Chains A and B, each alone.
Chain A
Amino acid sequence: MTHATELGQARPTGPGRGLSMAGTVLPLAGLGLLALVPLGAPGLQLLVNLALAKGLAVAGVSVLLRAGQVSFGHALYFAVAAYAGAFLMTALPGADLALVLLAGLLGAIVAGVCVGLFVVRYRGIFFGMLNLAFSMIFWSFLEKFYHITGGADGIRLPRPTVLGMTLDRASFELVLFYLTLVLVLSLGWATIRWLASPAGQIFQTLKTNETRLEYLGVSPRRALLWGYLVSAALCGIGGALMGVTQGVVTPEYAWWIRSGEMVFIAVLGGAGSVRGAFVGALIYELVRTYASAYAGDVWQMLLGAFLLVIILFAPRGVIGMIETLAHRGEGRK
C-alpha cells in the first residue's frame, strides 16, 4: 500500500511494529508540543485551534482520496454541521458544548446519507463536481433564506456551557483548545485504524479495481458510501468546532473556495494521509496568517508555488518528507 506507515502501524509483524518514529513517536511529540501552546505561545492558541478544526475536515477529504475520489464540495458537511450547532444554540441558548458538537455530527451524517446515496453512483470528475454542486446549492440556501439562516451575516453563536458550567471567554477557549486536541488524537487514531481494518481496506480498493471488488461479493457503491459517511462525519466535527471557536457561522463555510482549500491542504500535507491533513492544515494556517501580514497580496502566490514544489518533488506531501527523514534516522540507529 502507498500509505505503509498508516497500515503498518498496527501490523503484527514488519517494520511498523512497536513505537515507530514516523508512525507514533513524531505525531505524539507534535501533539505534546501543541499542548504547550497555551502556556508557551498563547498568541497562537486560537490559530492552532482553527487549524486543527480545519485539519479534521481535511482528514475527511483525505479519506476519500484513499479511494481515489476527490470531492470539490466537502465544505457542505463543514457548513451543515456548523449551522446545525448554530440552530441548536438559537433554539436552546446555553446548550452544552457536547450537545452542539453532537448536533453538528448528526447533521453531517444525515446530509452525508442523503447526498452520498446519490453521488456514490459516480466516479472521478463527475463525483467531484456533483459534490461541488450540492455544496453550492446549500450555499445558495444559506444566502437566500435570510429569515432562517441570517443570510450573508450568518448566525452568531452564544458561548455554550461546558458540562453545565458557564465559563468566561479565556477559560472556554482553553477548554475548547484541549478538547480539539483530544478530538484530533482520538478521531485521527480511529480513522487510521479504520483505514487499516478490513472494511477500510475494501474501501481503498475502489481506487484500483472495482471489477474484482464486485467479484468478491462486495457492492462498490456501498463500500464508497461507508467511506463517504466517515468522511462527512470528520468534516462535520471540524465544522462544528470551527463554528463554536469563531462564534459565528456564515455561508462562506459552504463556499466552493472552502472546499478547494480542503483539497489543497490535503495534497500539501500528503494526499490520503490522515496525519498529513493536520500537518498541512497547521502549515497552511500559519503561512496564510503570517504571509498575509508580511507579504500582502502575494501570499497566495507563495502558497501556490510551495504546492507546486510539493507536487513536483515530494508527491507524498509534507508528511511524506517527514516520514522519509524519520525512516532514515531510524535506519542509522
Chain B
Amino acid sequence: MTAPLLETRNLVIRFGGVIAANDVSLSITAGRNLAIIGPNGAGKTTFLNICTGWIKPSAGQVLFEGEDVTPLPPRRIVQKGVARAFQIPQLFTEHTALENLLIAVAARDRLRNPFMNLHRIPERDEMMHLLEMVKCADAAHRPVVELPEGQRKLVDIAVALALRPRLLLMDEPTSGVASSEKHRIMEILVEALAERKVTSVFVEHDMGIVERHAEEVAVWNAGNVQLRGTPREILDHPDVIRDVIGEAV
C-alpha cells in the first residue's frame, strides 16, 4: 500500500460554539482527485485552511508526505509542494494575468537578480501556454481588476499550477464560470493535473461536476467526513440526497 500524500489525524477546531472540524482523519493518495461536498457551513473550506496552515487546529496533525506540517505557516507548506486556489480569487489585481503567473514563477524559483525584468523570465512562454490552457489567453495582458469573476477564478487556478505543486487544493474551482464552459474547463483541468501528476482536492457544490470529474468523493457534515466513496456510490446515497443534494428521497 502506498503512503498517503496528505494525511490528517484527529483534527479538531472550534469557532466559539461551532465545531468546524471534529476529529477529522482523512488520507489522500498520490495521483488521485478527491471532491469534497457537503452543506454550507459543514467545514469544507476550514479543512483546506487547516491543511495549508492558514488556521491552526486545536488538536490533531496534518502530514504531507509523512512530515508533520501542522505548525508551519502557509508559505512553508507551499514550498513543500502544496498549492491553493481560492473560492474568492486571490490575485494581484493591479498586475496583468500573465504578470500574476510570472510572479508565481519568480516566487517558486526564488529569482533574485535585481536587474532582470519580470517579463524576461525564461518560463514566459510556458506561462502563456498555461493561460491558453485555462482559456484566458485573451486576458494575459489585461490587469486582473478588469477581468470578470469567472476568468479571475481560472487565472487563480493557473497561478496555483504555475507553482508546479504536487498537491492542489481548490475551493469551488468553477463557481462564477459560465455554465456552458464549466465541464470543458474541468475536463482540461483534470487532464492537465493528470499529465503533471498533481494530486487534487476540490470543494464543489455542483454535483454534475462532481459526478463527471471526481475519482473519489468525501461528504462533509457537521465538521467531519460522513461518507467516502466513488461518485456514483455517494451521489446515490439517500443521506447525501437528503442532506446535500436536497431532493426528496
Contact = CB atoms under 8 A, between A and B. Distances in A.
Interface of A: 1-2, 7, 10-13, 190, 193-194, 196-202, 204-205, 207-209, 211-219
A209 B114 CA distance: 22
14 contacts: A1-B95, A7-B118, A11-B117, A197-B115, A197-B117, A198-B121, A201-B102, A205-B95, A207-B94, A209-B92, A209-B93, A215-B52, A216-B107, A219-B75
B104 interface: yes
Interface in B69-93: 73-76, 78-79, 83-84, 90-93
Given A205-B103, A209-B90, A199 B75 contact: no
Contact of B106 (A190, A194, A202, A208): A202
Contacts of B143: 1
Interface string B196-238: 0000000000000000000000000000000000000000000
Contact of B78 (A11, A199, A201, A216): A216
A201 B116 contact: no
B90 to A, nearest CB: 4
Contacts of B52: 215
A207 B91 CA distance: 11
A280 B165 CA distance: 46
A218 B107 contact: yes
A193 B75 contact: no
Interface in B92-142: 92-96, 99, 102-104, 106-108, 111-121
Contacts of B159: 212, 216
The binding surface of chain A is classed by DSSP as helix
Contact of B92 (A205, A214, A217): A205
Interface of B: 52, 73-76, 78-79, 83-84, 90-96, 99, 102-104, 106-108, 111-121, 143, 159-160, 163
A215 B115 contact: no
A231 B163 CA distance: 30
A198 B90 contact: no
Given A2-B94, A199-B111, A214 B75 contact: yes
B119 A12 contact: yes
Contacts, number: 106
A217 B78 contact: yes
B74 A10 contact: no
Given A1-B94, A196-B118, A201 B106 contact: yes
Given A11-B119, A194-B114, A218-B75, A201 B103 contact: yes
A165 B90 CA distance: 58
B106 to A, nearest CB: 3
A17 B163 CA distance: 29
Contacts of B93: 208-209
Given A11-B119, A197-B117, A214 B74 contact: yes
Contact of A216 (B73, B76, B108): B108
A111 to B, nearest CB: 21
A198 B119 CA distance: 9
Scoring B83, B99, B118 by chain A CB atoms within 10 A of each residue's CB, the highest score goes to: B118
Contacts of A7: 117-118
B116 A217 contact: no
Contacts of A196: 117-118
Contacts of B106: 198-199, 201-202
B107 A217 contact: yes
A298 B128 CA distance: 56
Given A1-B99, A199-B111, A212 B116 contact: no
A212 B95 CA distance: 13
A197 B115 CA distance: 6
Contacts of A10: 117, 119-120
Given A215-B78, A216-B103, 19 more contacts: A1-B94, A1-B96, A11-B117, A12-B117, A12-B119, A194-B115, A196-B118, A198-B118, A201-B95, A201-B103, A205-B103, A208-B94, A209-B90, A209-B91, A212-B92, A215-B75, A217-B76, A217-B79, A217-B107
B117 A214 contact: no
A11 B96 CA distance: 14
A207 B104 CA distance: 16
A185 to B, nearest CB: 15
Given A197-B113, A201-B106, A211-B90, A217 B119 contact: no
